[in-house]
């Protein structure tokens, strides 16, 4: 089974963290922290999202530095649906 990631913050997705559409149904593309009730929960740039996520990624990956986390996200985030140009 292919791992899905939130198309805004790159958080690994499972049924417990799915965002919601305007009609209350589950949204398969975004997590509940980024998308609720059919709208994004924060109006931010990709760079602001990366900075917000750095500490979360470091705490979830023992031994990872903030610089490594930031570098990896800077490479990956432009591929996410929310940030594609």
Question: Is residue 4 classed as helix, strand or coil in its secondary structure?
Answer: coil
Share of the chain above pLDDT 70, in %: 99
pLDDT in tens, 4-14: 999 999 999 99
Strand partners, 34: none
Residue 10: predicted pLDDT: 95
Q: For residues 7 and 76, what is the distance between their CA atoms, to the nearest angstrom?
A: 10
pTM exceeds 0.75: yes
**Where along the chain do its domains lie?**
15-79
């Amino acid at each position: 089974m292919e791992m899905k990631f939130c198309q805004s913050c790159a958080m690994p997705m499972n049924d417990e963290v799915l965002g919601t559409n305007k009609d209350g149904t589950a949204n398969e593309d975004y997590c509940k922290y980024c998308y609720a009730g059919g709208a994004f929960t924060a109006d931010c740039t990709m760079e602001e999202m990366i900075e917000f996520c750095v500490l979360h990624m470091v705490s979830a990956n023992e031994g990872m530095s903030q610089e490594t986390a930031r570098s990896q996200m800077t490479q990956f985030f432009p591929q996410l649906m929310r940030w594609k140009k």
